[in-house]
Structure 1
Amino acid sequence: MEREQKEKEGESSKRAINIGTIASIVVGLSGSGSVLIFVLHLIVTECTTESERSSRFVLLGAITTSISAVASFVIGYYISWRGFTDLFWIALMLQLMSIVVGLRFINPSQFIVGTSATLECKNDCLSSSPSANNVYIRKPSKLWAEFFEVFTVFAFNRRSRKKSISLYLTLLAFAVYIFTSSSMSVLLWYLLSVPFCWSSKEIGNYSAVSAVASAVLRLVGIEALTKLGAIVWTAFAQHNWAIYVTLLISPFTMYQGSLTWSMISKWLEPHERSHAFTFVTETNVIMIAAGGSFFNWLYARTIVHNRKFTFLLAAGLNIIPFILNIYLLLVTRKLAAEDNITRLMEIDSDVTQLLERDTNKTQDLEEDLNGIPLMKTDEGTASGQFQPLFDDSIDANPSGSLNLRFISRSRTSNL
């Protein structure tokens, strides 16, 4: 009897694993959270100005983590009460609700109109700008060619050399950051083993506190751009309080992901942002999948010898985005200074053109006034006496004649 019961349990567990695998494949094909983040970032980019875009991205991340904090807290207690089977159905219902809300309340036309208006304004500015010859002008393309735009949107011939370098540095730092951040996927196995041996309640409480701390502290200030400090602290943590102390560090290390979207949007034309964000989303998904698989595989093979090795390796790899961010800071400072100089030169050129245009109009007006014929007035008045037409001292006498000019030359120059 016991053998048959074990066989049934084994078959049911295999069936559950197969169903879970199929569900994971379906979720992966649908894009799931990555598509949602992609669309939200596009909406924020099109509906905000450049000066407030970074803060809106950080605020969006804070709102997302706040909601996930509530979910993590509830899930931890729900698993200990009813198990995790019902959570799949709840997640399915919530995803269907999000689809209905998106179709009902998000009107795509308002974003399309705003984007096209921005593009027309940008094209007008480029046509009047003296540096318009150095700007890549996108030609109309077929539908199938849009796929290749995702991979060619960062080409060097579309923008200046320093802007291209800044884009590639940002993308490389973002990719390495996401890859090393995926090392935290093994944190669950780290907390389930010795010396912590946490239950689902404790893991849910920690996840909730982590999300709340991340949401609040991310709004306080922007300092670190890597997860170096948090990962090192986690690697050497031996007590529960040490794990919670890492929450004071990790929120300040998550800005690399949020600010990448804002930084890229500043260096791209409006019609290039959707393709660029698609590429960033694909990079994010690939790095999470590759990093999670790699660090889980590495943790399973090094846990016997050294439990800290995986986290220490991830912390060491974070030196790469740290160096790239420093170099990117230097490049963007020079780029900002050059943009200011170029903008001042363009303004000076526009002012000079306006002054030249006004001078030409004034000269044309003077020539027209000089060509106006003289009028005849009193004959008894001295022929050499000249007075303006609007002078109060002129006496109208129809019997006489006088050579008189309408406006004096000094008044013409004043005009």
Structure 2
Amino acid sequence: MKGLYLVEPVVALYAFSSFLIYPLVQQYVYRTLWQQLTNTTFPISDNTSRCAANSSSNQSSYHKEVQRQASLFSLYTELLSTIPSLVVTLMLVAYSDRGGRKITIILPLIGTLIYTLAFLTVSYFELNIYLLIGASFLSSLFGGLGTLLGGCFAYVVDLCKDEHQKTLRMAGLDMMIGLLSGVAAISTGYFLRAAGFNWPFATSALCQCLILLYAIFILEETVKKAPTDAVVIDGSPQRTALKQMIYGVYQMFAGVSCRCKTVLLLLMLIFTSFSFAYWGGISLVTLYELNEPLCWSEILIGYGSALSTAVFLTSFLGVSLFTYCGMPPLLIVLIGILSVVSGMVLLAFTKTTLLMFIVRVPLLLSIMPFPVLRSMMSKIIPKSEQGALFACLSFLESLTSNVSNAVFSSVYAATVSWFPGFCFLLAAGLCVIPVLVLGVVGLVGVDVIKEDKKAETDISGEEDPVEDQNDNSPLVC
């Protein structure tokens, strides 16, 4: 059977299976800690809020302690799983330039399946929830979401020759995440209320098995050429492959001019600083909704998560519209950052259910900076080193998201008793960093990206290299 060059089904089904259980993870930990700390069953109500029925001072103190313990549990999980996932991401995605993109897709799927099955086991047999930290560490040895997305973005770059198509298809992958995760988030609350925790975990595991079969047997490989430098050294050809993994990022920077290196580093700084602020703030939304005075039920959390994932669709539409209108990429990135700032500031002072839904409107364009920055950086790097680029980006994004989750969880545990919304103000304040660096990139000159596209074609041999010798390009140092 002939394979397909469509990586979108992998991203779509992975998003559905992940977001089917992602809202449940914090709720399961929250409910378990509640039972352990209070020796009572978790209060479940059909009302929009549980706070009205549990407004005593004892219940309020219980909420604060459970909030603190839940945020610390998240902190421990992130700390233990971060380093293995980062190392695997950097090595696998960099090696995919020679060894193929599918390995960066298949291994993270296996790791996610292991984690989901571990969660199902802990939930079904009512085991100690701290076993989930060990399961998270084990799954991180196979890579994580950053590994999968890094491989998928590099896969898309292999297929796209037009820069406009590349930007839109990268944004399309983000949109797939939003659409399917939104559907999963809506169904999660009803699924939990009707069948408990076990069936959602089992359904997610089944979906992940289907994705794994598709990736192994149907998805075609885009990197067809075998490594030309696979020289046997002391009877072990694996050493050359390991060397390519370690020095992939170095080769990526060595292939561009000094001015391009400067712009590339600045764009990476924007990417990582914005990722730190955005994912750190967003990671605490579910805990904030479980806390007083909102005390949302699982149904409301499902609707809130679905509305939050709508930003992927609206951001894709925003990128498409702004790109079609000829808006400069840096301006699109700025609009996305300002969207996050406004949403986080409003979120910090939200105390009612209605406002909690309305406050998500300013966040509708918050994902736009990610595909635009990826596309801008991919234009600078030669096509032969795209895997190294996305390995570096996935490494940085995973590092910043995991570290930001740990930092924001610890800050939330320390501030939840006096101002739960402080972390959202912190996220908004940290967005000042990418805005300032964005101005520096504007001063350096974004024409580097356009001009280095010509340098890339010279490197790939698609144009006469003699022509480049007569070109007075400002890229030459």
Same fold? TM cut 0.5: yes
Do the aligned residues in 2 keep the contact of 1:115 with 1:270 (CA within 8 Å)? no
Give 1:114 shift.
8.7
How many Å separate the matches in 2 of 1:184 and 1:337? 34
How many Å separate the matches in 2 of 1:142 and 1:39? 21
- Match of 1:267, as an amino acid? I
Give 1:149 shift.
1.9
Q: Please state if 1:59 is matched with 2:176.
A: no
Give 1:42 shift.
1.2
Give 1:304 shift.
1.4
How many Å separate the matches in 1 of 2:437 and 2:146? 25
How many Å separate the matches in 2 of 1:288 and 1:231? 17
Give 1:269 shift.
0.9
| Alignment partner of 1:185 out of 262, 275, 283 | 283
Give 1:313 shift.
1.1
- Match of 2:133, as an amino acid? T
- Match of 1:94, as an amino acid? C
| Alignment partner of 1:225 out of 308, 328, 336 | 336
Alignment CA distance shift 1:338-1:45 (3 Å) = closer
Q: How many residues align?
A: 317
- Match of 1:152, as an amino acid? Y
How many Å separate the matches in 1 of 2:143 and 2:172? 23
How many Å separate the matches in 1 of 2:288 and 2:276? 19
Please list the CA deviations of residues 265-321 of structure 1 after superposition, one character each: whole Å capped at 9, or x if unmatched: 111111211112112112111111111011011011111122221111111111001
Residue pairs, 1:98-247, within 5 angstroms: 98-108=211-221, 111-113=222-224, 142-155=240-253, 157-181=254-278, 182-221=280-319, 222=322, 223=332, 224-226=335-337, 227-247=340-360
Please list the CA deviations of residues 70-129 of structure 1 after superposition, one character each: whole Å capped at 9, or x if unmatched: 111111111122222333222222222111001121111xx124999xxxxxxxxxxxxx
Alignment CA distance shift 1:267-1:242 (3 Å) = same
Residue pairs, 1:231-380, within 5 angstroms: 231-335=344-448
Give 1:238 shift.
2.5
| Alignment partner of 2:137 out of 25, 31, 41 | 25
Residue 380 of structure 1 corresponds to which residue in structure 2? none
How many Å separate the matches in 2 of 1:15 and 1:278? 36
Please list the CA deviations of residues 235-270 of structure 1 after superposition, one character each: whole Å capped at 9, or x if unmatched: 122222322223322121212222232122111111
Which residues of structure 1 form unaligned runs of 5+? 1-5, 117-140, 354-415
Give 1:342 shift.
9.3
Alignment CA distance shift 1:268-1:105 (3 Å) = same
Q: Which has the larger radius of gyration?
A: 1
Do the aligned residues in 1 keep the contact of 2:311 with 2:365 (CA within 8 Å)? no
Which residues of structure 2 form unaligned runs of 5+? 1-38, 41-121, 228-238, 323-331, 457-462, 471-477
Give 1:205 shift.
0.8
Please list the CA deviations of residues 321-368 of structure 1 after superposition, one character each: whole Å capped at 9, or x if unmatched: 11112222333434257669999xx99x86xx9xxxxxxxxxxxxxxx
- Match of 1:73, as an amino acid? I
Q: Which has the higher contact order (CA 8 A, sep 6+)?
A: 2
| Alignment partner of 1:41 out of 148, 153, 171 | 153
Residue aligned with 2:203, SS = helix
- Match of 1:34, as an amino acid? G
Residue aligned with 2:127, SS = helix
Do the aligned residues in 2 keep the contact of 1:225 with 1:322 (CA within 8 Å)? no
How many Å separate the matches in 2 of 1:277 and 1:341? 21
Residue aligned with 1:112, SS = coil
Do the aligned residues in 2 keep the contact of 1:191 with 1:198 (CA within 8 Å)? yes
Residue aligned with 2:446, SS = helix
- Match of 2:442, as an amino acid? L
Give 1:34 shift.
2.5
Do the aligned residues in 1 keep the contact of 2:252 with 2:385 (CA within 8 Å)? no
